[in-house]
Structure 1
Amino acid sequence: MGSSATVAAAPSAAPGGIGVFEKWLSLWVGLAIAAGLFLGTMLPGLFEGLAAIEVASVNLVVAVLIWAMVYPMMVAVDFASLSHIGDRPKGLVLTLVVNWLIKPFTMAGLAVLFFDVLFAPWIAPADAQQYIAGLILLGAAPCTAMVFVWSQLTRGDATYTLVQVSVNDVVMVFAFAPIVAVLLGVTDITVPWETLILSVGLYILIPLAAGALTRRHLARGGADADAAVARFTGRVKPLSVLGLLATVVLLFGFQGQVILDQPVLIALIAVPLLIQSYGIFAIAYAAAWAWRVPFNVAAPCALIGTSNFFELAVAVAISLFGLSSGAALATVVGVLVEVPVMLSLVAFANRTRHHFPAA
């Protein structure tokens, strides 16, 4: 998942390397959802005013919050690690195949199956198209920062994890917009290319460039460069956390009445997400086992495809379809279900590590 987590270990880190915020992310998101529903019901005028602060299909309030979320994780990405791209070729091949040739298309297929067919009796066609769009955006955005956490919890190869994140970020710059446009077009959802490209620039290129420049500045400390990066990301992490929770409050403030009228909606959206997450992990993990990939590469390789860069998905959904859209709602449900799913998969991976070759 791309989340607010970074390589840096926060002071509140729990045993095993995952911070208190990450460990209880679903709880914090649940509380933010409740706050959004309450405030949206009590102060509808406030949310209408926030929605109006928009330029060229970009809501400026949300843009600032998304940048606050994404920037710290981009500082953690070290493109110098690309010099190690050939050190673990099997794991990298599996990561790229799963993330870009399998995951987006299986997510789109599941979304269509459930919302156009299985759930069709309970959901209006127009709403179903919105939920499909949100799920497609999640499927086309592989995880960035939280992979460091999952890798640490499985004692993964730190250098390999850094390489796979850096490579995926480079691929995402060029592949995200075309894949999303193709899949949305196949599902008969009209997407303005200019808005999609603008979203990629705003929420991938600019934060990535800002993170690289910040890392370069911090790295002037020489041997203490990694420590300087860790200290910096630790300091800015609270901004990332607040950005995530504030975005969730905003989204559910706009969606409040829809959700209160259809409380089962969140569960319906979660069903294909859960199937996709466990299915993608199974594909990548089984392939790594069959190819005799060492466990410290196989585990992070499988986990990066399972997790999502939901900050990007949320931002693009808002830019393309609006704050009160079903697409934006679907991307936030991805945040809600991700951490419990990922922790269960980390536990499974650790229990089955003896089936893989040692490093």
Structure 2
Amino acid sequence: MTQLQTPSAVVGRLSFLDRFLPVWIGVAMAVGLLLGRMIPGLGDALSAVAVDGISLPIAIGLLIMMYPVLAKVRYDRLDTVTGDRRLLVGSLVLNWVVGPALMFTLAWTLLPDLPEYRTGLIIVGLARCIAMVIIWNDLACGDREAAAVLVAINSVFQVVMFAILGWFYLSVLPGWLGLEQTTIETSPWQIAKSVLIFLGVPLLAGFLTRRFGERARGREWYETRFLPAIGQFALYGLLFTIVILFALQGEQITSRPMDVVRIAIPLLAYFAIMWGGGYLLGASLGLGYERTTTIAFTAAGNNFELAIAVAIATYGAASGQALAGVVGPLIEVPVLVGLVYVSLALRKRFGRHRLDKTSAAPESTSGAE
């Protein structure tokens, strides 16, 4: 057993980049917005080459962001996660029952007069996170193996359930309730391609890197030399992705400030309720700090890349539905970064617990001490 460390001790061991991450994210968002606003045609240039409907620069940023964290996962320990039925069932209920229903309720309650934004938010609620949540979980010292398993499960359910739930929440349920109905055009194959590219590629790369790296040089070298060397690229990829994402939609966001505020209100409520609900569920199930943190962040995060791609493909790039998707990361990124620090502050409430260096050590995401 290791003595529980305080949030200040955890933060103190982070690298300079990690320690001031909220500052760098704020700067990245501002730079992206300014670039998108000040350089005519930048959005069209960035969107000229796309991977499965996602701008190539964003695709590259996502892959760079996810690979180092997935290379850290101890794949030989995944069976300890898959055997935890409380964790798996709790995550499935939060992600695929509570999450979509909550976003539907918030969208209709807070945006009854804005059908385009309302539809966009409902689409966001259906797109469960498979990318940035890995970064937030790692920064909060969550269970890395559990995050990998839950993200993989979300990916499978996303392929199977996204179109079905979209039809239910946009057409069937509103019809039952006497509300306005709409449609969504997407296919399981379209979603499967997105999952295979943005999760499958870095997941396979991380698995192969660990397997052959440990086989060639040993686990000690892999975890003390190789991982610190590549770890910093996760946050570089995150910041690059944020700059490009906000540059693509900078003009829309800055030219419609009151619309952004209206969209932001249900999003703020959604993130707070989902994260808090995940924390309460994990604590009530006795999952411990690491897995409680993981279930909370995987419940609160959303796959905005998929939501934006679906909204653009169905309603157009200039639609209100697409704008709602774009505002998502504008709110999610700073909120979930703040919740990382809230998580670290809550660690003492879980008492003494095992801090495993390979799953939830208070290490720097960049690998630097």
Equivalent of 2:307 in 288, 310, 317: 317
Counterpart residue number, 1:106? 98
Matching residue's letter, 1:200: V
- Given the alignment of the two structures, is residue 96 of structure 1 paired with residue 70 of structure 2, yes or no? no
Determine the C-alpha separation between the residues in 2 that align with 1:262 and 1:142: 26
When residues 276 and 252 of structure 1 are mapped into structure 2, their CA distance, relative to the original with a 3 A threshold, is same
Deviation at 1:213, TM superposition (A): 0.7
Q: Cα deviations across residues 232-271 of structure 1 (Å, max 9, x unaligned)?
A: 3322334332322222222222322322233355555454
What's 1:215 paired with? 210
- Kept in 2, the 8 Å contact 1:69–1:243? The answer is yes
Q: Distance in 1 between matches of 2:216 and 2:50?
A: 40
| Match for residue 190 of structure 2 among 191, 195, 206 | 195
Shift of 1:231: 3.0
TM-score, normalised by the number of residues in structure 1: 0.77
Query: What one-letter code is carried by the residue in structure 1 that aligns with 2:167?
Result: G
Q: CA deviation at 1:145?
A: 4.5
Where do 5+ consecutive residues of structure 2 fail to align?
1-8, 171-183, 355-369
For the pair 1:177 / 2:177, whether they are aligned, the reply is: no
Residues 317 and 19 (structure 1), Cα distance of their counterparts in 2 relative to 1, 3 Å cut: farther
Letter in 1 for 2:45: G
Q: In the alignment, is the contact (CA less than 8 A) between 2:276 and 2:296 conserved in 1? A: no
Deviations 1:67-113 (A, max 9, x none): 11111111112211124348xx6xx3332123211234322223222
Instruction: Read off the aligned partner of 1:335 and give its amino acid letter.
Output: V
SS in 1 for 2:127: helix
Give the residue type in structure 2 aligned to 1:240: A
Instruction: Tell me the TM-score normalized by structure 2.
Output: 0.75
2:72 to 63, 69, 76: 76
Distance 1:168 1:48 in 2: 35
In the aligned structure 2, how far is the partner of 1:226 from the partner of 1:283?
A: 38
1:252 to 232, 240, 246: 246
Amino acid at match of 1:199: S
2:201 maps to which residue?
A: 206
Change beyond 3 A, Cα 1:117–1:308: same
Matched, 1:126 2:108: no
Deviates more, 1:163-172 or 1:124-133: 163-172
**Residue 118 of structure 1 aligns to which amino acid in structure 2?**
L
CA contact (8 A) 1:22 1:339 kept: no
1:62 is aligned to 2:62? no
**CA pair 346-276 structure 1, distance change in 2 beyond 3 A:** farther
User: How many correspondences in the alignment?
Assistant: 325
Report the identity percentage: 22
Q: Which residue of 1 aligns with 2:358?
A: none
1:40, distance to aligned residue in structure 2 (A): 1.1
Distance, in Å, in 1 between the alignment partners of 2:85 and 2:74 is: 20
User: Within 2, Cα distance between the matches of 1:78 and 1:169?
Assistant: 15
List gaps (5 residues or longer) in structure 1.
Answer: 1-12, 153-160
* SS of 1:307 mapped into structure 2: helix
Range 20-29 or range 193-202, more displaced: 20-29
For residues 53 and 44 of structure 2, the distance between their equivalents in structure 1, rounded to whole angstroms, comes to: 15
CA–CA distance in structure 2, aligned partners of residues 218 and 23 of structure 1? 29
Per-residue displacement from partner, 1:110-141 (whole Å, max 9, x unpaired)?
A: 322232221334xx311322233224324677
Change (3 A) 1:265 1:340: farther
In the alignment, which residue of structure 1 is the partner of 2:350? 353
2:132 and 2:24 map into 1 onto residues whose CA distance is 22
In structure 2, what is the equivalent of residue 164 of structure 1? 146
- Contact 1:136-1:180 at 8 Å conserved across structures: yes
Q: CA deviation digits over 1:12-45, x for unaligned, max 9?
A: x964544443443332222112111211121121
Distance 1:273 1:306 in 2: 16
CA contact (8 A) 2:127 2:303 kept: yes
The 10-residue stretch of structure 1 (180-189 or 317-326) with the greater mean CA deviation from structure 2? 317-326
**In the alignment, residue 101 of structure 2 is paired with which amino acid?**
G
For 2:56 and 2:131, how far apart are their aligned partners in 1?
Answer: 22
RMSD after superposition: 3.3
Partner of residue 7, structure 1: none
Distance between the aligned counterparts of 2:140 and 2:307, measured in 1? 26
d(CA) in 1 for partners of 2:17, 2:147: 21
Per the TM alignment, residue 300 of structure 1 is displaced from its structure 2 partner at its CA by 1.7
Q: Does 1:37 align with 2:33?
A: yes
Task: Show the counterpart of 2:332.
Answer: 334
**Which residue type is aligned with residue 165 of structure 1?**
A
